[in-house]
């Protein structure tokens, strides 16, 4: 077995509490493109990023929704399956390790794989809420009309009718569970970062933050190099599912 695989297994075996941070590279081997690799969602058309911003939604909600649905259609259909990487993380829990998965992904694949402590830093594609009355709606309702509106009837018997806001964290929106992520780092003996370019704040600050925590070992599994590779005890530039299949023999 390659040296990096041996080192990886040793670090995993000696860890009891593992904080995992994942990005879109976790799901490319499930058939979902990432954002910044060749063929990535932003790489293909950078203007898409501008449309997926809080500012764009607030100014052009009617234009936002068709673009959002087109961009994230695949993640909404839920027809994608977890890959060996997702399943490996769920299996670590079955081995008795305490594993908290903080994901930037909105594809729901960690939960589908069986991970029991999953925190969606960039929100959820499954729901959307009325910006005025807060009524929340599920995916079926959201997909009914091109532009989903609140159908709650007010005391005067009139429909609210406001255009819903997705529960996905848009650019310019606040990331969720970040305080829980930092608390988890303090209580963990291993940080495992998988499939993220670490381009987006505040996730990009995690390796620096982790670097200052005594006794916290850090592993990065990412196909491409990142500017933070030097902060990790072990860096594996491999496809995560492929690598996991190899170490599982």
Residues with a catalytic annotation lie at 122
> How far apart are CB 218 and ligand APR at their closest, in Å?
16
Q: Which of 195, 217, 218, 219 binds ligand APR (CB under 6 A)?
A: 195
CA atoms within 13 A on the CB side of 173: 19
**Choices 36-44, 53-61, 157-165, 204-212; region in contact with ligand APR by CB under 6 A:** 36-44
Give per-residue burial for 110-149: e unless 16+ CB within 10 Å, then b.
bbbbebeebbbbbbebbbbebeeeeeebeeeebeeeeebb
Q: Which of 200, 213, 234, 247 binds ligand APR (CB under 6 A)?
A: 200
Q: Which H or E run includes 168?
A: strand 165-168
Site string for ligand APR, 102-131 (x = CB under 6 A): --x-----------------x---------
246 touches ligand APR (CB under 6 A): no
**Choices 1-9, 25-33, 136-144, 177-185; region in contact with ligand APR by CB under 6 A:** 25-33
Whole-number Cα distances in Å, 110 to 39, 100, 116, 206, 219: 23, 11, 9, 20, 19
Task: Give the binding site for ligand APR (CB under 6 A).
Answer: 23-25, 28-29, 34-37, 40, 104, 122, 195-197, 199-200, 221-224, 239-240
């Amino acid at each position: 077995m390659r040296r990096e695989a041996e080192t990886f297994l040793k670090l995993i075996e000696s860890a009891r509490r593992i904080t995992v941070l994942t990005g879109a590279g976790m799901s490319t081997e499930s058939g979902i493109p990432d954002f910044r690799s060749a063929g990535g969602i932003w790489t293909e058309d950078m203007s898409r990023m501008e449309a997926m911003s809080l500012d764009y939604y607030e100014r052009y909600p009617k234009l936002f929704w068709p673009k959002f649905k087109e961009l994230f259609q695949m993640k909404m259909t839920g027809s994608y399956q977890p890959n060996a990487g997702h399943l490996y993380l769920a299996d670590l829990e079955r081995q008795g390790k305490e594993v908290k998965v903080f994901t930037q992904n909105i594809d729901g694949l960690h939960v589908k794989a069986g991970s029991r402590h999953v925190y969606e830093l960039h929100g959820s594609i499954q729901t959307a809420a009325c910006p005025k009355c807060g009524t929340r709606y599920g995916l079926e309702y959201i997909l009914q009309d091109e532009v989903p509106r609140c159908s709650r009837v007010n005391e005067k018997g009139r429909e609210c009718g406001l255009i819903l806001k997705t529960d996905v964290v848009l650019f310019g929106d606040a990331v969720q569970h970040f305080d829980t992520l930092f608390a988890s780092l303090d209580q963990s003996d291993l940080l495992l970062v998988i499939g993220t370019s670490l381009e987006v704040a505040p996730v990009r600050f995690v390796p620096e933050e982790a670097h200052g925590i005594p006794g916290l070992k850090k592993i990065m599994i990412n196909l491409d190099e990142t500017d933070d590779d030097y902060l990790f005890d072990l860096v594996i530039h491999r496809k995560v599912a492929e690598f996991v299949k190899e170490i599982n023999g």
